């Protein structure tokens, strides 16, 4: 049994609330149009694989978020290796202070900062997926650009 609300023009499912055969209440949020519509069809046809659709919707992470995390992890690793061996120095004054506290503290602060940003982006992505995708793409471009500029300006290669 499902009730649905459709946005203007009937193109986008704004929300779909279903009670599955197991009695679970499922709500699909705006931005999940295709998967929500497919799940609605499956629910109405009695398909038992509805749970797989629901779990994939709740825990999906965008490629941009994964790329940002990967870039940050590589940056952290290279910073620890290069600074630790004396081949480079940290150009970001805030992170340089963290590095003064030790490599572990530096890694925790750096990875926590990107984790908070990714969690915030992924939380907002359900409301405005296109905006978040473009914002993350610009963030990735800026991160790489700033990283290369500062690396070349501060360190002698």
Q: Dump pLDDT digits (tens) for 133-151.
A: 999 999 999 999 998 888 8
Tokens 């995390």, located at residue: 69
8 A C-beta contact, residue 110 and residue 72? yes
What's the pTM value of the predicted model, to 2 decimals? 0.61
What is the residue-wise DSSP string for 11-71?
-SEEEEEEE-TTS-EEEEPTT-HHHHHHHHHHHHHT-TTHHHHHHHHHT---HHHHHHHHH
Domain residue extents for the chain: 2-58, 63-154
Does residue 57 have a pLDDT over 60?
no
The DSSP secondary-structure symbol of 10 reads G
Determine the Cα angle at 78 with ends 77 and 81, to 5°: 85
Does residue 131 have a pLDDT over 80?
yes
Average pLDDT for 83-106: 92
Higher local confidence (pLDDT), 106 or 34: 106
Does residue 96 have a pLDDT over 60?
yes
């Amino acid at each position: 049994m499902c009730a649905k609300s459709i946005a203007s023009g009937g193109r986008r499912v704004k929300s779909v609330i279903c009670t599955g055969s197991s009695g679970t209440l499922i709500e699909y949020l705006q931005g999940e149009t295709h998967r929500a519509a497919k799940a609605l069809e499956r629910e109405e046809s009695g398909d038992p694989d509805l749970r797989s659709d629901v779990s994939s919707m709740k825990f999906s992470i965008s490629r941009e978020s994964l790329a940002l995390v990967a870039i940050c992890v590589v940056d952290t690793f290279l910073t620890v290796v290069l600074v630790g061996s004396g081949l480079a120095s940290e150009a970001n004054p805030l992170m340089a202070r963290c590095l003064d506290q030790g490599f572990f503290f530096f890694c925790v602060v750096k990875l926590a900062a990107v984790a908070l940003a990714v969690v915030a982006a992924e939380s907002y992505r359900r409301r405005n997926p296109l905006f978040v995708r473009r914002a993350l793409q610009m963030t990735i471009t800026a991160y790489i650009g700033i990283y290369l500029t500062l690396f070349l300006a501060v360190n002698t290669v």
